[in-house]
Chains A and B, each alone.
Chain A
Amino acid sequence: MKKILSLVLLSVFIWGTAFSQDNKNQKDSTSVKVQDTETTAFDSENQDDEGVNTGGFVPGLLHSSADVYSSNTSYTFGIAYFKSRGFDSKYQTIAINGMEMENLVTGRAAYSQWGGLNRVFRWPENVLNLNASTFAFGDIAGSTNYSTRASSYRKQIHANYSLSNRSYNNRFMLTYATGLMKNGWAVAASASTRFGSALSYVDGSYYLGGSYFIAAEKRLNTRHAFNLSVWGAPTKRSLQSNSTQEVYDLTNDHYYNANWGMYNGEKRNARIRSTYEPVFLFTHYYTPDNNRIQLTSNLMATFGRQSTTSLNWANVPDPRPDYYRNLPSYFKDDQMLFNYYTTQWQTNEAFRQIDWDMMYATNQLAAAQGEQSQYIVENRVIDHLQIAGSSNLVANVTDHIKMMAGLDVRGYVQRNYKTINDLLGGSYWLNEDKFADGESPENPYLLYDDLDNIGAHLGVGDKFGYDYAYNLYRENLWGTAKFAYRHFDFHVGASLTTTEMWRTGYMRNGRFPDNSKGNSEQKFFVDGGVKAGVTYKINGRNYLVLNSQFQTQAPSVLDAFISPTTRNDYVSNLVSEKDLVADFSYIMRYPFMRMRLSAFYGKFMDVTDLFSFYHDDYGCFVNYAMTGIDKRNYGFELGIEIPIGSMFTVVAAGTWGDYRYTNRPDVTISADNGYDILGNGKTEYTETVYWKNYHVAGSPQVAATLGLKFSYKYWFVNVSANYFDKIYADINPERRATAARGTLSTESQLYKDLVAQEKMKGQFTLDASIGKNWKVKRNTIGFNVSVTNITNNKNLVTSAWEQRRFDYSEYNANKYPNKYYYALGTTFYVGINYTFN
């Protein structure tokens, strides 16, 4: 064990060193967890050629076809960004061959790592909610395990083409598998490309992706087999902006995208995300002759880069067209300007999109005068390297007892920095924080992001702004025992995890010269989890299931530092979060009706959250570090399937939930440029957030579907009507604190506007799909068409949030109105496939 650990540590060190020396070529990105400003909603990449959604917004665990609730809601609820039970996706365990795919920084698996490889990443093993799994201890929102074992793919050549108007238009996919050959080898490979945006909903979209997968397995004998699988999905795509309702109303378009503008006769998007993070996974399968145990061991390496471009600017106004000072509402007191801006927004496309030509002209003028570029395109780069090893044991101890245990050790380095992507006709860029300028004349160094390179004229590819790494180690040991008896099944399990984290700064920041460069203090967390469940099998038709789990989890490194871009300071009171979840289900399985009815309860305690955003009034990035957040989710789930004849099935499924904050956490607010936030000489302050009983946003808390399924002779037709409600805007903690309330009376309109939490109107959608497969000799040809949101409802809000800025000068909650993303209107997906067996 120690050896493995040292080996991994050593490898990580070597890789990490290699990273740090590879400066020029590496681009960076921010890991600043901005209120998620970009999204690619409802990707068609998550839909495979069988019309089954395989992930993304509601990852796989819901796909368990055996569960009458999950199987009927996972796809249909996806359009509304529904999260089962309101649990964040970071509470899901996603594994491949039993190796957890979690990114240690985000706490989530990156589905984009296998985007476009739907044919080989399909039919995973899903363990719902709190049930016990064979490959992991299992997080509270369920576990999913994909297999990339080459021999698990039957022999085939599979070709697929699909057309869609979601995030990309075309996808070609070719898959080949040999099956297990006589020589003990099995090989599987898949390649695909995704491209095109002409049909896309969002103007100025761009998409280009390629994917590859190869797996080779060698069975040495009946006991040992080795499998090497390698895959990657280099993808480049544009991001969609988010806006206030004013902008959507002015443009009469809920999908208005501020990120593009015409340049040289083409739509140029300022926000392009490039991702390429390949995975190497080496797996050893051991099954002794007695067949009583299976041991699966993995070594994994993933590395790569995610980079996102964005506009930056120096001594000029914010060039983004929907910046609030470019909107009519900013001129509400001047009727003439108000009318002018309104008319321009409504009728002049150039006015409501990015003006590239203006930026080039300005920069050229600046260059002629020897000045720096006033506008640039920057690239926010995230490079990562992860090395991991795991071993899982499944032992059938007796006919009644099955034991599972596992060990997982991993190291993770993520480097975050910015580079210059395009000087836009200018000559150079200065690594200075323009907002710090003049704040403190007695300390001129405040201005510089990189004290070791003051005044350097930076060109394309050069790093600037920030450069730091997160370093993480995690070791996990778990065990679960399942017992099966005549009327009772039950399981118990336990897990122990240790986490180490620290930050390494590579730039000496002028505001924090003494604690920005070099290593931070290391934090060490020991966490545990226990789970237990019992199933009472009344008879073969009726079951009662009670499951429960309690666990602690180290805070995410993203939430651990007050201002990771600038310094090594930890958020104070950093402690592990505690999660307690239980559910109780009644499951019925009659030939005339299948049903599951569940009640669930989840309590999250001591949750830490950090978010950073650009604060217009302070003119800099501001960090909100929240600690001690308690939340509580409870609700009910119901799924019913009633067959009618042999061809039809009526489906009804829905959930009602209530997700709320249950205490008053603390928030520490600080400014990256040392701005005196409260006017009291301090650059940060802590206050209590009074948001008990406010709703936790992020998912509709009510969702229901009523559907009819038809299937006959390889034809299938599905129609479903769906309803979503209790969709709340994410609230700004600052507006629920004393500083924002000031001395307002609770009866005053200003106060009511200040603290009201917006609830969106409930919305209906209608979906339909049809498909058919034919046998042609030994081969199969098939097609499927699905149309989502047939009624073209463009008013379903998928996310809404209060801006983090608050107008202290007027106490006017409406100065920075809420922002929204809307679900797409009618979208379609058409796929045809041919399989040579």
Chain B
Amino acid sequence: MSSFNRIKLIALVVISAFVGVSCEKDLDVAPVLTYSGKATMTIAELNELHTAGSVDSYDSIPNGTVISGIITSSDKDGNCYKFLTIQDNTGAIQIKIDDSHLYPKYQIGQRVFVECGDMVIGDYRKNNQIGFWADGSMVGIASSREDQYIFRHDVAGAEPAALEITSKDEITSDMYNRLVCLKDCHFSEAGSTYCNPGSATSRDIVMADNSVIVMRTSNYASFASSLLPEGEGDIYGILTVYNTTPQLVIRSLSDVRISATPTAQTVEIVNVDFTSNPFETQGWSVIGDNGGWFYYAAGQSFAIQNQTATALESWLISPVYSNLGSYSDVTVTTTGANCQVTSGTAKKYYSVDFNGTDVAAATWTELPANGKLPAEVAANPNVRIAFYFNGYNGDYWRIPAFVIKGTIIQ
């Protein structure tokens, strides 16, 4: 082997080594936090340990008690302050914590275990909480001790399904502290702020059956000065109680799902004002028997009248409306103060094949009672509207204005 061949060989080995090792390696991943123990009690069982009295009170929790639940509250927007709410399939409870800024650590949907054997279950104005009792009221877990009591378990999942409520009358005490959804409701004070300046504020939520549930919002909530929306829809939140009054506490504005969907915009496409006499200039044509349509100045309208005893058949036909295709629900109406038909046959037709002179050769279809043009007709650029009248002995039809409306297709 010559030395150059050797060099080649070595180069080959080196290059293949480079190629072989250059692939990127998977970076290590630390395991997620888990809790190895088990819940010893359901939240409903925990709640049964305490019965609220006339004043705030507490009961002890058996040593070694562990409960588990999914977090439903968040202090991100400042409305759920210094507490967490968790729920399991049986019930829900508030955990009082003397700490703000909990949300990065305790996200909605996060399962936690709470070793609450050293804690007590009590109430604040009959809303159940776990925490500690000091000087006649409940106090929270010290922020530096959180990790001795609350244990997160696994990656946070979705938030639990909300309990649907359609009327205040459905509310029972076992629903307190649960995530709920008030269905088909609205704010009675839409347009007001969520909260008055300086203090927590109650606003009424009116349910479909007109029963009222209070929404309570802290003045420290980031959305305190936002406006209550108009309209109807669903509102999510934690259902709490204050003495005997159930109160909904929303976590953020996204809990308020009131359909503020903008109403489709209906516009006038054509408005022929017959109170002046635009008759000749706007391309209308009058075709038919003697008499025909005329401008009736006294009544400020367009009119037709037959004084004779012989029936008279007359057509008033619009110009082509070629722009109706960009609207839906195109509706033709005649309006105005003196719009009236005394007697005789008055009909509104549309056609897409009138040639401008020969009425008989064209196909005429009567407008339905609501005046709505079929979509395919409105879309036709040759569409015309016609007013047909057949009467005698003084029958007349007066039309002060003629309007075509439609909804803008988005």
Q: What is A's interface to B at a CB cutoff of 8 Å?
A: 538-539, 541-542, 586, 588, 597, 599, 634, 636, 656, 658, 660, 664, 676, 678-681, 688, 690-694, 736-746, 755, 757, 808-812
CA distance A660 to B28 in the complex (A): 12
B153: chain A residues within 8 A (beta carbon) = 743
State whether A679 and B146 are in contact (beta carbons under 8 Å apart), knowing that A664-B28, A736-B30, A743-B32 are contacts in the complex: yes
Whether A738 pairs with B32 at a CB distance below 8 angstroms is yes
B198 at the interface (CB under 8 A from A): no
- Among A634, A679, A681, A741: residue with most chain B CB under 10 A: A679
CA distance A2 to B144 in the complex (A): 57
- The closest CB in chain B to the CB of A590 belongs to B3
State whether A743 and B3 are in contact (beta carbons under 8 Å apart), knowing that A679-B145, A810-B104 are contacts in the complex: no
CA distance A663 to B43 in the complex (A): 42
- The closest CB in chain B to the CB of A661 belongs to B28
CA distance A636 to B19 in the complex (A): 12
CA distance A742 to B110 in the complex (A): 11
A660: chain B residues within 8 A (beta carbon) = 25
CA distance A586 to B153 in the complex (A): 56
CA distance A538 to B5 in the complex (A): 14
Q: What is B's interface to A at a CB cutoff of 8 Å?
A: 3, 6-7, 10-11, 14, 17-18, 21, 25-33, 101, 104-105, 107, 110, 143-148, 152-156
Whether B155 pairs with A743 at a CB distance below 8 angstroms is yes
CA distance A541 to B105 in the complex (A): 66
8 A-B pairs in the complex with CB atoms less than 8 angstroms apart:
A538-B3, A541-B3, A599-B14, A681-B148, A690-B29, A741-B33, A743-B33, A809-B105
Minimum CB–CB distance from A816 to chain B (whole Å) comes to 15
- The closest CB in chain B to the CB of A808 belongs to B105
* A-B pair number, CB within 8 angstroms: 93
Minimum CB–CB distance from B144 to chain A (whole Å) comes to 5
State whether A636 and B156 are in contact (beta carbons under 8 Å apart), knowing that A541-B3, A586-B10, A811-B105 are contacts in the complex: no
Whether B14 pairs with A692 at a CB distance below 8 angstroms is no
Minimum CB–CB distance from B26 to chain A (whole Å) comes to 6
Whether B146 pairs with A741 at a CB distance below 8 angstroms is no
Query: 3 tightest CB-CB pairs across the interface, nearest first?
Result: A690-B30, A692-B28, A690-B28
- The closest CB in chain A to the CB of B3 belongs to A542
Whether A744 pairs with B146 at a CB distance below 8 angstroms is no
- The closest CB in chain A to the CB of B112 belongs to A743
Contact of A597 among B14, B101, B143, B148 (CB under 8 A): B14
A742: chain B residues within 8 A (beta carbon) = 32-33, 105, 152
CA distance A745 to B158 in the complex (A): 12
Whether B146 pairs with A693 at a CB distance below 8 angstroms is no
A681: chain B residues within 8 A (beta carbon) = 148
Whether B147 pairs with A745 at a CB distance below 8 angstroms is no
CA distance A636 to B17 in the complex (A): 10
B3: chain A residues within 8 A (beta carbon) = 538-539, 541-542, 588
CA distance A261 to B30 in the complex (A): 44
Whether A636 pairs with B14 at a CB distance below 8 angstroms is yes
- The closest CB in chain A to the CB of B26 belongs to A693
A757: chain B residues within 8 A (beta carbon) = 27
State whether A691 and B32 are in contact (beta carbons under 8 Å apart), knowing that A599-B14, A810-B104 are contacts in the complex: no
Whether A741 pairs with B17 at a CB distance below 8 angstroms is no
- The closest CB in chain B to the CB of A541 belongs to B3
Whether A679 pairs with B31 at a CB distance below 8 angstroms is no
Whether A744 pairs with B155 at a CB distance below 8 angstroms is yes
Whether A743 pairs with B156 at a CB distance below 8 angstroms is yes
B104: chain A residues within 8 A (beta carbon) = 809-812
Whether B28 pairs with A691 at a CB distance below 8 angstroms is yes
A739: chain B residues within 8 A (beta carbon) = 33
State whether A737 and B30 are in contact (beta carbons under 8 Å apart), knowing that A599-B17, A742-B152, A743-B110 are contacts in the complex: yes
CA distance A636 to B14 in the complex (A): 8
Whether B30 pairs with A743 at a CB distance below 8 angstroms is no
State whether A741 and B147 are in contact (beta carbons under 8 Å apart), knowing that A586-B10, A656-B18, A809-B104 are contacts in the complex: no
- The closest CB in chain B to the CB of A634 belongs to B21
Minimum CB–CB distance from A388 to chain B (whole Å) comes to 42
Told that A656-B18, A691-B28, A755-B27 touch, could you supply 4 new A-B pairs with CB distance under 8 A? A586-B7, A597-B11, A694-B28, A742-B32
A676: chain B residues within 8 A (beta carbon) = 144
Minimum CB–CB distance from A728 to chain B (whole Å) comes to 12
CA distance A541 to B3 in the complex (A): 9
A597: chain B residues within 8 A (beta carbon) = 10-11, 14
- The closest CB in chain B to the CB of A739 belongs to B33
CA distance A808 to B14 in the complex (A): 46
State whether A738 and B146 are in contact (beta carbons under 8 Å apart), knowing that A656-B18, A660-B25 are contacts in the complex: no
CA distance A809 to B28 in the complex (A): 24
CA distance A542 to B30 in the complex (A): 49
CA distance A810 to B76 in the complex (A): 11
- Among B26, B30, B33, B146: residue with most chain A CB under 10 A: B30
CA distance A744 to B21 in the complex (A): 31
A745: chain B residues within 8 A (beta carbon) = 155-156
CA distance A739 to B153 in the complex (A): 12
Contact of B29 among A539, A634, A679, A746 (CB under 8 A): A746
Contact of B18 among A636, A691, A743 (CB under 8 A): A636
Minimum CB–CB distance from A593 to chain B (whole Å) comes to 10
Whether A588 pairs with B7 at a CB distance below 8 angstroms is yes
State whether A679 and B144 are in contact (beta carbons under 8 Å apart), knowing that A542-B3, A741-B33 are contacts in the complex: yes
- The closest CB in chain B to the CB of A740 belongs to B30
Minimum CB–CB distance from B350 to chain A (whole Å) comes to 58
Minimum CB–CB distance from A639 to chain B (whole Å) comes to 13
Whether B101 pairs with A809 at a CB distance below 8 angstroms is yes
A755: chain B residues within 8 A (beta carbon) = 27, 29-30
CA distance A656 to B22 in the complex (A): 10
CA distance A586 to B6 in the complex (A): 10
- The closest CB in chain A to the CB of B103 belongs to A810
Minimum CB–CB distance from B16 to chain A (whole Å) comes to 12
Whether B147 pairs with A542 at a CB distance below 8 angstroms is no
CA distance A656 to B33 in the complex (A): 38
CA distance A586 to B144 in the complex (A): 61
A539: chain B residues within 8 A (beta carbon) = 3
B147: chain A residues within 8 A (beta carbon) = 678-680
- Among A634, A678, A743, A757: residue with most chain B CB under 10 A: A743
Whether A542 pairs with B152 at a CB distance below 8 angstroms is no
CA distance A678 to B146 in the complex (A): 9
Contact of B33 among A586, A688, A691, A738 (CB under 8 A): A738
B26: chain A residues within 8 A (beta carbon) = 693
B145: chain A residues within 8 A (beta carbon) = 679-680
A538: chain B residues within 8 A (beta carbon) = 3, 6
- Among B3, B28, B32, B144: residue with most chain A CB under 10 A: B28
A740: chain B residues within 8 A (beta carbon) = 30
Whether B27 pairs with A694 at a CB distance below 8 angstroms is yes
- The closest CB in chain B to the CB of A593 belongs to B7
CA distance A690 to B146 in the complex (A): 25
- The closest CB in chain B to the CB of A737 belongs to B30
CA distance A678 to B147 in the complex (A): 7
Minimum CB–CB distance from B220 to chain A (whole Å) comes to 15
CA distance A658 to B17 in the complex (A): 12
Contact of A679 among B6, B11, B148 (CB under 8 A): B148
B148: chain A residues within 8 A (beta carbon) = 679-681
State whether A693 and B27 are in contact (beta carbons under 8 Å apart), knowing that A588-B7, A745-B156 are contacts in the complex: yes
Minimum CB–CB distance from A81 to chain B (whole Å) comes to 24
B105: chain A residues within 8 A (beta carbon) = 742, 808-809, 811
- Among A755, A757, A812: residue with most chain B CB under 10 A: A755
- The closest CB in chain A to the CB of B1 belongs to A538
Whether B152 pairs with A743 at a CB distance below 8 angstroms is yes
Minimum CB–CB distance from A577 to chain B (whole Å) comes to 21
State whether A738 and B31 are in contact (beta carbons under 8 Å apart), knowing that A586-B10, A597-B10, A809-B104 are contacts in the complex: yes
CA distance A681 to B153 in the complex (A): 21
CA distance A314 to B36 in the complex (A): 44
A809: chain B residues within 8 A (beta carbon) = 101, 104-105
Minimum CB–CB distance from B100 to chain A (whole Å) comes to 10
Whether B6 pairs with A542 at a CB distance below 8 angstroms is yes
B17: chain A residues within 8 A (beta carbon) = 599, 636
